[in-house]
Amino acid sequence: MGVWVEMLDKKKVVNGLANLELPFVDDVGRKLRTDPHLFSGYWRAMANGVKGSNVANASPVMEPLEKLGVILVLPAVNNENEPATHRFLSPVVIANSELSCAHEHNIISRAISALKPADWTLQTKGTALEEIVEASLVLHAKYVNDPTEKSVGPPLTLEALIKRLGGQLHIRVPSTTVVDESLLAVFSRDALNEVHVTPIEAFPSVFYKDDAQTSSTEQDARFKKNIEVLETPGVAVLSPTFSNNEGCDRIMVCRIEDTNDVALLIFETKQYFTARTARATTTTKSSIKKKAMDTLEPHLKCVQHFNGTKSIKIRRVCFVHCNAPALRKKRENPFDVAVNQNTFIPTKSKEAQLHKITQALAAAGCTTSLHTVWSEEEWLNLLDCLYFVVPDIGDEPLHVSAAIKAKKRVVRSKHTKRRSSVRRGLEYLK
């Protein structure tokens, strides 16, 4: 990592990662060709929360990787503003084509490819972020409570998974049916323990009450397709293909241990709002609420379908909005939830609609929660080391903690800004 940044500081042209001539790459490459699962212990520990961060000495999983020089040990602060230590797989290792024989490379390579657009726009940056979030979700689904590995630590519950990936919780509306979130999170995998991304036109659906272009026949067809996909035993991560699928970019489908219950973690990562036009504008507080409505309103029909008659039940839904540049400086609540009361502020606008739809979901037996991923710690929990290749969105970088800023000033000549430097380096690959 440091070698890469130093070369950029010297303004030496970098046409590709192979030009970096990193001394450890050849050695790591030889080990990977012998053992493609060399990094699998890291990803398994990441997914199950047992990397051994915030400790002075490396864990048994991290120690051999640290000796190889592929682990970054960085100071930070946690969500309680307390000093912490993080260990991450180096972004150079993630992106280097010389190390493509790593078992997880096929999961990550699509996200890395999305970082090389012809032109950086709100849309292309948003697409790159979608792919990075998808890679993280697939890695989590692949390794959370991995049945092939019994020594990764205590099993991960649904509650713990939501807390880690969902960022800041703003409101949780419990259902009339008790959902035991202390049960284990379970994901569908094939015979080789692989997780596959399932493309789907629209989820829950693209629906505008005053949009004459979307016929009821089209809506019915999309709804039936959604039902079929959710009934498929092998589904774990969904990827809507419609560009105007506002409010829902990736969906994690999680089974709840020893039950027929399903939890859906819905991630909205678009950093723009298109409404019913082709013009993209920066996301605002109002548009975040509309995105939540565009997701939850049609989702109610899906919940009622399954929870009324079908064998599987959708008992838990999390709507997670990732990063709004216009709001993050103030840490403004986009859902107008009363502070420390877990209730919506009385209003006649979108908040009242959110209250109404979440109450309807609760009556149908589905607990709903609204979240945001804004701070650096929340992004690190969601993406882990993939965070360092996230493109800057909006007019300024994502929130960076004061402790890390101070550290950067000390070691700037070696590392510069962690994530931004990696992105700038990848731009040389165009």
Q: What pLDDT shows up at residue 51?
A: 85
- 238 and 128 both lie in a single domain: no
143 lies in some domain: no
**Domain end marker among 376, 394, 411:** 376
Q: What pLDDT shows up at residue 389?
A: 83
Q: What pLDDT shows up at residue 430?
A: 33
- 297 and 390 both lie in a single domain: no
Burial group, residue 371, by CB count within 10 angstroms (0-12, 13-18, 19+):
buried
327 lies in some domain: yes
Cis peptide, bond prior to residue 204, ω within 30 of zero: yes
16 lies in some domain: yes
Q: What pLDDT shows up at residue 370?
A: 94
- 302 and 393 both lie in a single domain: no
Quick one: which of 58, 7, 68 has its CA closest to 32? 68
- 161 and 305 both lie in a single domain: yes
- 308 and 197 both lie in a single domain: yes
Q: Does position 421 have pLDDT exceeding 50, yes or no?
A: no
- 109 and 227 both lie in a single domain: no
Highest mean pLDDT among 114-123, 275-284, 408-417: 114-123
Rounded to an integer, the average pLDDT of 234-258 is: 86
Q: Which domain holds residue 273?
A: 148-376
Q: What pLDDT shows up at residue 341?
A: 64
- 391 and 371 both lie in a single domain: no
- 327 and 346 both lie in a single domain: yes
- 174 and 81 both lie in a single domain: no
pLDDT digits (tens, 9 = 90+) for 257-271: 989 999 999 999 876
Burial group, residue 216, by CB count within 10 angstroms (0-12, 13-18, 19+):
exposed
Q: By the 8 A CB rule, do 55 and 62 touch? A: no
Could you tell me the pLDDT band of residue 349, with boundaries at 50, 70 and 90? low
Quick one: which of 314, 106, 83 has its CA closest to 195? 106
pLDDT digits (tens, 9 = 90+) for 108-123: 988 888 887 667 777 7
Could you tell me the pLDDT band of residue 328, with boundaries at 50, 70 and 90? low
- 13 and 121 both lie in a single domain: yes
pLDDT digits (tens, 9 = 90+) for 164-200: 999 999 999 999 888 899 999 999 888 788 998 999 9
Q: What pLDDT shows up at residue 117?
A: 67
Q: Could you give the CA distance from residue 255 to residue 233 in angstroms, rounded to a whole number?
A: 10
Rounded to an integer, the average pLDDT of 347-372 is: 86
pLDDT digits (tens, 9 = 90+) for 12-22: 555 554 455 56
Q: Does position 133 have pLDDT exceeding 70, yes or no?
A: yes
Could you tell me the pLDDT band of residue 235, with boundaries at 50, 70 and 90? very high
User: Which tokens is 290 given?
Assistant: 């509309």
Could you tell me the pLDDT band of residue 252, with boundaries at 50, 70 and 90? very high
- 200 and 113 both lie in a single domain: no
pTM, full prediction: 0.83
58 lies in some domain: yes
130 lies in some domain: yes
Q: Does position 7 have pLDDT exceeding 80, yes or no?
A: no
- The conformation of residue 385, written as its DSSP 8-state character, comes to G
244 lies in some domain: yes
pLDDT digits (tens, 9 = 90+) for 28-83: 889 999 999 999 999 999 999 888 777 777 788 888 898 888 888 888 776 677 78
- 131 and 171 both lie in a single domain: no
- C-alpha to C-alpha distances, 49 to 107, 160, 369, nearest whole angstrom: 20, 9, 22
Domains: count for the chain: 2
Could you tell me the pLDDT band of residue 212, with boundaries at 50, 70 and 90? low
**DSSP per-residue letters across 92-107:** HHHH-GGGTTSTTHHH
Q: What is the mean pLDDT of the chain?
A: 77
140 lies in some domain: no
> To 10 degrees, the CA torsion angle through 73, 163, 357, 278?
10
